[in-house]
Amino acid sequence: MVVHFSYDKPRAEALKEIRSFLESEGFIILEYAPEDAFLFTDYKLYDWGTGRRLLAVTVHINDKITITGMGKMDVPVSNLGPPDELQKIKSVDRLPYSIQKRTFLALVQPLNDLGYITVKHSP
């Protein structure tokens, strides 16, 4: 999951603003490198009662802002495999689009509201 934004302020200021936004959204910043205009977060838990969804975000600023989301989710594997493994939970790295909309893509509009413009890609 990747989204790009254009910006019209200094890189350091944009990175600080995005860091503050992510922290206000409940993300924990693991690495913050203002000299490289880069940061990444720990996985944030989204638990809606039907299994865990985890999302981590990286931000890299060059000529545009690139935000990359990395997600995981737990999937019950009942009725698959041996009887002693019927209640296990399997972690998958690819999130369905409906989950991406509720986690990663939910970050896009607030960033647009902060003045960053989503870059539309042509086909």
Domain ranges for the chain? 31-115
Mean pLDDT along residues 15-19: 96
pLDDT at 81 over 60: yes
Which has the higher per-residue pLDDT, 25 or 93? 25
The predicted pLDDT at position 90 comes to: 61
Mean pLDDT along residues 11-15: 95
Q: Which of 40-44, 48-52, 75-79, 98-102 has the highest mean pLDDT?
A: 40-44
* Residue 63, amino acid: D
Calculate the average pLDDT of the chain: 86
The predicted pLDDT at position 48 comes to: 75
Q: Which letter does DSSP use for residue 34 in this model?
A: T
Backbone angles phi, psi at 22, to 5 degrees: -65, -40
Mean pLDDT along residues 36-41: 96
pLDDT at 50 over 90: no
pLDDT at 93 over 80: no
- Identify the residue whose tokens are 């990663």: 104
Distance (Å, whole) CA 3 – CA 51: 26
